[in-house]
Chain A
Amino acid sequence: EVQVVESGGGLVQPGGSLRLSCAASGFTFSSSWMNWVRQAPGRGLEWVANINPGGSAESYVDSVRGRFTISRDNAKNSLWLQMNSLRVEDTAVYYCASWTTSGNYWGQGTLVTVSS
């Protein structure tokens, strides 16, 4: 059974930091591109970042580049998103997800609220 479980969300003040975690199982994590996708309250989906299977290549949407860092550990089937210099507009549910020709896997999301 495939499981994707995010954690680490919460309330943080503007300018603060959070580290999101994603634990995956039931699919070949080490061969999969992994993504973070976010959804602001009542809004649509926004792709945030991804990382290649080996962890050597990362990409980011412009609005988070330089503030967020995606990383992974294939030995632990884990993905992270380090979020620094958080802004009010980063408030959203953050999903860990993978979509390939062999399947697509999403977590339930973790809510990040940036507010003073």
Chain B
Amino acid sequence: DVVMTQSPLSLPITLGQPASFSCRSGQSLVHSDGNTYLEWFQQRPGQSPRRLIYKVSIRDSGVPDRFSGSGSGTDFTLKISSVEAEDVGVYYCMQYTHWPHTFGQGTKLEIK
């Protein structure tokens, strides 16, 4: 299975400041079809997860543009340009280039 390693596990950020989440995969996530199936999910406290980003950098409908995804190969990043109170929660990366789909262990964003 492809191991997804996220860092840091906890991210205390002051409101209005940027935040950066790292996700590294145990092997390249470039699929034979040329796509890279790396996604980011947000899980707010007490809520179900929701996807924010798919194929590394494409934002889902309704996701604020302060969220952005980047990266390639085995190294990926989710950034929030200016953290708001509603961004508190756990952020997971997930790959489905390889079977089985695998999630990272999550990074918990909290307000400092």
Size band of the B side of the interface? 20 to 34
A116: interface (CB < 8 Å): no
Nearest CB on A from B39, distance (A): 7
C-alpha gap A76/B44 in the complex (Å): 31
Q: Which residue of A lies closest to B100 (CB)?
A: A61
Interface size on A, residues (CB 8 A): 21
B48 within 8 A of A: yes
Q: What number of A-B contacts does a CB cutoff of 8 Å give? A: 49
Q: Is the CB of B103 within 8 A of A99?
A: no
Which residues from B are CB-within-8-Å of A108? 48
From known contacts A44-B92, A103-B60, A104-B60, infer whether A95 and B103 are also in contact, taking CB-CB under 8 Å.
no
Alpha-carbon separation in the docked complex, A17 to B62 (Å): 39
Q: How far is the CA of A91 from the CA of B111 in the complex (A)?
A: 31
Chain B positions within 8 Å of A62 at CB level: 1, 100
* B residues whose Cβ falls under 8 Å from a Cβ of A: 1, 39, 41, 43, 48-51, 54-55, 58, 60-61, 90, 92, 94, 99-106
List residues of chain A with CB under 8 Å of any chain B CB.
Answer: 35, 37, 44-47, 50, 59-62, 95, 97, 99, 101, 103-104, 106-109
